[in-house]
A = this chain, B = another copy of it.
Amino acid sequence: MIVKQDIRKLHHFINGTFVPGTSGRFSNVYNPCTGEVIAHVPLATREEVRQAIETAKSALPQWTALSGGKRSEIVQRFRQLIKEHEEKLIETICEESGKTKEDARGEIQRGLESVDLAINAPHMVKGEYSVNVGGDINMFSRKEPLGVVAAISPFNFPVMVPLAQTSMAVAVGNAIILKPSEKVPQSALYLSKLWKEAGLPDGIWTVINGDQEAVREILENETVKAIHFVGSTPVAEYIYQTGTKYNKRVAALGGGKNFMIVMPDADLEKAANAFIGAAYGAASQRCMALSGVIPVGKETADQFVAILKEKIAKIKVGPYTDEEVDFGPVISKESKEIILGYIDRSLKEGAKLVTDGRHPEIAKNSNGFYLGPTLLDEVTQEMGIFKDEVFGPVRIVVRADSLQEAMNLINSHELGNGVTIFTNNGAAARKFQDEIEVGMVGVNVPIPIPVGYHNFAGWKRSNFGTGVMFGPEQANFFTKRKTISEKWMDMEETSQTTFSFPSK
């Protein structure tokens, strides 16, 4: 690799300042559209992480001393600054992730929903108050911040996921240590500037760049009280098991294998449009992307595949600088190879190639990590491509003879993030909602991602622990409850001892 002169040297963001890494270890940040290295991101040592955590801890008192309203005002200013810097943020996201501008804009918008919810943190963290629960005792509860908490983010949403993981955490009075993906560190660093400008005290928002070593320190450091992780299922499982081994609270959201069931009564044209966007958008690099479709009945399947084929042919792949493009490259060369491996293996296992995206036009003249949209038909439950989450634009058709069979395919899968059905029939939709073992369920909806004021969480191996992303439950995850029993003596009260267990 030839290091070009203009490659940026990225920093950490600690104690309100951008500070260079001290480890001497760096990772390359690529522009996936060109395949070029655009920046070097420092990989923190455990000692650097430890010190950042200590700094965060010592910043806490002045943050928790503020009233909820004062903290909320800073969150509001932060929101406003994101809107003001939206175009620059989009550019940053696109450059390091390769996604289209429209997609980056959507990501920011959804990320803002979490900030919006955090604005109302003072309402969200109210405790409960009871008068005279017995013996003239009033009993009440308060939700207090945990202290220093951490978030570990994936590459696919450089802004939305960090905002969703951290906004409420900060608003309720914690200090956050964010370790963004080393593939897309610039977006998180950009947010740091905005928090600073919004008036957040130094030390409350920390971005530490790094790899396993930084993660290890986060997992083991006693000062870190909770970890919020979003990423692939194997790493989520590792984080859950390791974080809890160190007695922390852990939310660990993993991957998905999300299917669309198409019923014979569905409007196939609409269903196909929904599928194309939700399946191939962002080069399929979303934990809630549709991984495949399960048409019910041969006739439905044949027609639906024909429509998809036609629509896929019109999809345009290319760099985000081209506004006509539907989706961009995948995140890395390694990722591209893994995806190609899945296609090849599936074909050997008997899948039928409907459209072949392995060699897109754009790849002829670009070193970007491009793949075109691939569709495989007649995929079965036994194939690896059915079982694994594949983070790239190869999608599958699995055929079923009945709604029940389609649901069985999904319910037997070890992942359970998202799922959707297309039908006009109320009874089919109800059966689906009742019996599908998946956390986020759609009816005639392409991707059933909750809005910011509802909770986002998969089931089964798509989510370890009880944590969520988005939604009011975040306020509970990032606080601990103190329950107070308060009595005030009065003069007349007789004085006597009770040895028995108090029962009202």
Contact = CB atoms under 8 A, between A and B. Distances in A.
A502 interface: yes
Contact of A485 (B79, B142, B441): B441
A76 interface: yes
Nearest to A108: B503
A313 interface: no
A487 B442 CA distance: 8
Contacts of A142: 129-131, 433
Given A126-B128, A240-B247, A110 B425 contact: no
Contacts of A113: 69
Tallying the copies of this chain within the complex gives: 4
A490 B427 contact: yes
Interface in A109-124: 109-110, 113, 116-117, 119-120, 122-123
Contacts of A277: 497-500
Interface string A53-95: 0000000000001011110100010011000000000000000
Contacts of A346: none
Query: Which of A72, A138, A274, A454 has the most CB atoms of chain B within a 10 A radius of its CB?
Result: A454
A69 B427 contact: no
A129 B132 contact: no
A466 interface: yes
A427 B134 CA distance: 17
Q: Is the interface of A mostly helix, strand, loop or mixed?
A: mixed
A327 interface: yes
Contacts of A219: none
A437 to B, nearest CB: 9
Interface stretch (A298-306, A363-371, A383-391, A475-483): A475-483
A65 to B, nearest CB: 8
A360 interface: no
A179 interface: no
A116 B79 CA distance: 13
A455 interface: yes
A314 to B, nearest CB: 9
Given A139-B451, A426-B429, A483-B454, A497 B274 contact: yes
Interface string A449-491: 1111111110101001110100011001100111111111110
A98 B67 CA distance: 30
B120 A453 contact: yes
Interface in A222-269: 237, 240-241, 244-245, 247, 249-250, 267, 269
Contact of A483 (B250, B270, B424, B440): B440
A254 to B, nearest CB: 11
Query: Which of A131, A269, A270, A425 has the most CB atoms of chain B within a 10 A radius of its CB?
Result: A131
Given A120-B120, A129-B141, A241-B247, A500 B440 contact: no
Contacts of A382: none
Contacts of A120: 116-117, 119-120, 123, 453
Nearest to A501: B106
29 contacts: A67-B132, A67-B504, A68-B130, A68-B132, A69-B134, A70-B504, A102-B499, A105-B500, A110-B503, A120-B453, A122-B453, A127-B129, A128-B454, A129-B142, A130-B453, A131-B434, A240-B244, A245-B245, A267-B495, A281-B499, A326-B499, A426-B443, A430-B488, A438-B482, A440-B484, A442-B484, A443-B484, A443-B487, A449-B485
Given A69-B452, A126-B130, A443-B486, 6 more contacts: A117-B123, A127-B130, A237-B247, A270-B493, A424-B488, A444-B487
